C-alpha cells in the first residue's frame, strides 16, 4: 500500500487549436520563415541564451524575437540592446500563447523578411506545453538549479519539445544535479529529444545548440523554396 | 521612442471563485485548521523547504501536506518519508488549484484534526496567483538562481502573497543576485510582504520563517476559539 493517497481532480477541457497552428505553419513555410517556440521556467536563462544565440547566428540569417510576458518589458529591453528586431507581446495575465495569439504577434511584428523568429514564451513549464503555437520546432530550457527530476514532474513539455537546453552548467559543482539522470528521465518522456548542455553565461556549449538550430532553419527554408513561392 | 513595440493581446476572462474561497476559509476557521498556500516556480525548493518546516514545527502542531502536481507523485513520496500525513492531488494537466479543487482535496484528505495544512501548489508563478484557493495565508518561494528581477516580471504573485521566502542563499556567491534589489522590487509590488532569506539545504534562516508561520497559525486557531465552535 502507498504511504499516501492519490486523488484525481476533474480535468478541464482545453480548446484545441491544432488546426490554427497547422495553418500558421503553412503560412510561415510560404514566407520562408522558421518559427522557434522557446519555453522554460521563470529564471532559467531564456533571454541570456537567446542573446548568445543571436550573437552566433546574426551574420548568417535575419533574426527577430517575440517576447511574451504577462505585462513587463524587461526581456524586450534586454534583447533590443543587442540591436536585434524585437517585439514585446503582453498576454494580459495569460500563462501561455496559443496559435491565434502567436499569429496576432507575428502580424503585428511583420516577419516576411525574417529567416528565424524566436518566440520566447511565458516562463512556465505547464500551460505553454498544452498549446501548439504554430511554431516549426519547440525547444525548452531547464537550468541546473531547478533539479534533474523535472521530466518526472512536468512530462508534457519534455514530450512536445524537439530540443532541450540544459543551462547554467557552470554551477554544476554547487548543486545536486545529475546530468546523466536528467538525460535518462528526459529520454523516457521523449526518446528523440536532442539535449544540449550549455552555459549561457560563459558561452560553453552554445555552438552545438546553434548548429542544430542552423540545420533546422536551413532545412525548413530550403524545403519551402521548391514550392515556387520563394 | 521605444526601441521596440508593445502589443497587448486580448485578455481572457478568469472565472471568479472568490465566494467559494471565502466560504472555505469560513469552514477552516470553524474546524481550527490553518491552510497555507505555498507557491513557486518549478525547482525553487518547495518540498525541501517544507521538509525543514515540518521538522521545526511537528512537535508543536499537527501538520498535513497536500501536494498538487500535474500527474506525478515525486513530492508526496518525499514528504511521506518524513512520516507526515500527506495527500497527492493530481490536477490532470491544470496549472493551478482553485477554491473548489482545494476543497475537494481537503475533504478527501480529512483535515478536521489538523492545525496546519500546507498546500504545495503547482510549480508556476502565473496561474496559481490568479486563483484564491481559500487559504488563510499565501506564501511563495523565489530561489536565488531565478534572479532578482522576478517581481518585475510576475507582479501578481508578489502582490497576493503575505510572505516571500528567498531560498538557496547558500549559492549567492555564484549568482548575480542582489538581495537588496529583490527586496526593493518585491516591496514595490507589496509593501507588506514579509521576506525571509533561507537555505533549505543548510537550514539557515528557517527559524525566522517558522516563527512567522507559528504566529499566523496561533492567531488563526485561537481567534477561532471564542466562536464557541472549538
How far, in Å, CA of A156 to CA of A14, rounded? 14
pLDDT band at A228 (very low <50, low <70, confident <90, very high): very low
Minimal CA separation from B54 to chain A, in Å: 17
Of B9, B43, B73, the CB nearest to A101: B9
How far, in Å, CA of B143 to CA of B140, rounded? 10
A155:B71 CB<8 A: yes
Is the confidence at residue B120, as pLDDT, over 90?
Answer: yes
**Does the structure's ipTM exceed the value 0.85?**
no
Is the confidence at residue B94, as pLDDT, over 90?
Answer: no
B72:A41 CB<8 A: no
Is the confidence at residue A227, as pLDDT, over 80?
Answer: no
Is the confidence at residue A9, as pLDDT, over 60?
Answer: no
Which of B37, B14, B13 minimizes the C-alpha distance to B136? B37
**Residue A16's pLDDT is what?**
60
What single string gives the DSSP state of each residue in A160-179? H-SEEEEE-GGGGGGS---H
Mean of pLDDT values over A123-137:
93
CB A156 within 8 A of CB A129: yes
Mean of pLDDT values over A18-38:
95
How far, in Å, CA of A90 to CA of A178, rounded? 36
Chain A partners of B125 at a C-beta cutoff of 8 Å?
42, 123-124
Q: Both ends of chain A: CA-CA distance in Å?
A: 62
**Residue B11's pLDDT is what?**
34
Of B74, B75, B127, the CB nearest to A95: B127
How far, in Å, CA of A210 to CA of A207, rounded? 5
Minimal CA separation from B57 to chain A, in Å: 21
Burial label, B134 (beta-carbon count in 10 A; 0-12, 13-18, 19+): buried
Is the confidence at residue B227, as pLDDT, over 70?
Answer: no
**Residue B91's pLDDT is what?**
84
Q: Count of residues for chain A?
A: 230
How far, in Å, CA of A191 to CA of A183, rounded? 10
Burial label, B213 (beta-carbon count in 10 A; 0-12, 13-18, 19+): buried
Of A89-103, B86-100, B216-230, the range with the lowest mean pLDDT is B216-230
Chain B partners of A89 at a C-beta cutoff of 8 Å?
7, 9
Is the confidence at residue A45, as pLDDT, over 60?
Answer: yes
Which of B187, B67, B168 minimizes the C-alpha distance to B119? B67
How far, in Å, CA of A98 to CA of A204, rounded? 33
Minimal CA separation from B135 to chain A, in Å: 18
B42:A125 CB<8 A: yes
Which of A93, A191, A193 minimizes the C-alpha distance to B95? A93
Which of B178, B146, B164, B172 minimizes the C-alpha distance to B209? B164
* Helix (H) / strand (E) containing A30: helix A18-30
Q: Which residues pair with B142 in a beta bridge?
A: B166
Chain A partners of B94 at a C-beta cutoff of 8 Å?
9, 11-12
Q: Both ends of chain B: CA-CA distance in Å?
A: 63
In tens, the pLDDT along A49-91 reads 999 999 999 999 999 999 998 878 888 999 999 999 999 998 8
Of all residues in chain B, the percent with pLDDT exceeding 90 is: 76
Is the confidence at residue B10, as pLDDT, over 80?
Answer: no
Mean of pLDDT values over A179-193:
97
Is the confidence at residue A12, as pLDDT, over 60?
Answer: no
A145:B88 CB<8 A: no
Mean of pLDDT values over A112-138:
94
CB A143 within 8 A of CB B168: no
In tens, the pLDDT along B133-174 reads 999 999 999 999 999 999 999 999 999 999 999 999 999 999
Cell 486563483 belongs to residue: B131
Phi, psi angles (nearest 5°) of residue A70: -55, -60
Chain A partners of B174 at a C-beta cutoff of 8 Å?
171, 174
Chain B partners of A73 at a C-beta cutoff of 8 Å?
4, 6
**Which of A145, A156, A168 best probes binding to B when mutated, by most B CB atoms within 10 angstroms?**
A145
Of A5-19, A93-107, B162-176, the range with the lowest mean pLDDT is A5-19
CB A162 within 8 A of CB A131: no
Burial label, B76 (beta-carbon count in 10 A; 0-12, 13-18, 19+): buried
B7:A88 CB<8 A: yes
B4:A42 CB<8 A: no
In tens, the pLDDT along B21-74 reads 999 999 999 999 999 999 999 999 999 999 999 999 999 999 999 999 887 888
Amino acid at each position: 500500500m502507498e504511504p499516501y493517497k492519490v486523488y484525481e481532480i476533474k480535468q478541464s477541457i482545453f480548446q484545441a487549436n491544432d488546426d490554427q497552428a497547422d495553418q500558421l505553419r503553412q503560412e510561415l513555410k510560404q514566407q520562408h520563415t522558421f518559427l522557434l517556440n522557446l519555453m522554460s521556467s521563470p529564471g532559467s536563462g531564456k533571454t541570456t541564451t537567446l542573446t548568445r544565440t543571436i550573437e552566433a547566428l546574426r551574420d548568417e540569417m535575419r533574426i527577430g524575437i517575440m517576447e511574451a510576458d504577462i505585462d513587463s518589458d524587461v526581456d524586450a529591453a534586454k534583447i533590443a540592446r543587442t540591436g536585434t528586431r524585437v517585439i514585446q507581446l503582453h498576454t494580459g495575465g495569460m500563462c501561455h500563447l496559443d496559435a491565434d495569439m502567436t499569429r496576432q504577434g507575428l502580424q503585428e511584428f511583420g516577419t516576411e523578411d525574417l529567416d528565424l523568429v524566436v518566440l520566447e514564451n511565458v516562463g512556465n513549464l505547464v500551460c505553454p506545453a498544452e498549446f501548439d503555437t504554430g511554431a516549426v520546432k519547440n525547444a525548452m530550457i531547464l537550468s541546473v538549479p531547478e533539479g534533474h527530476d523535472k521530466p518526472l514532474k512536468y512530462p508534457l513539455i519534455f514530450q512536445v519539445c524537439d530540443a532541450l537546453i540544459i543551462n547554467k552548467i557552470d554551477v554544476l559543482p554547487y548543486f545536486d544535479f545529475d546530468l546523466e539522470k536528467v538525460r535518462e528521465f528526459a529520454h523516457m518522456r521523449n526518446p528523440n529529444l536532442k539535449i544540449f548542455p550549455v552555459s549561457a553565461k560563459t558561452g560553453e556549449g552554445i555552438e552545438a545548440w546553434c548548429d542544430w538550430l542552423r540545420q533546422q532553419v536551413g532545412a525548413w527554408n530550403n524545403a519551402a523554396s521548391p514550392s515556387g513561392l520563394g
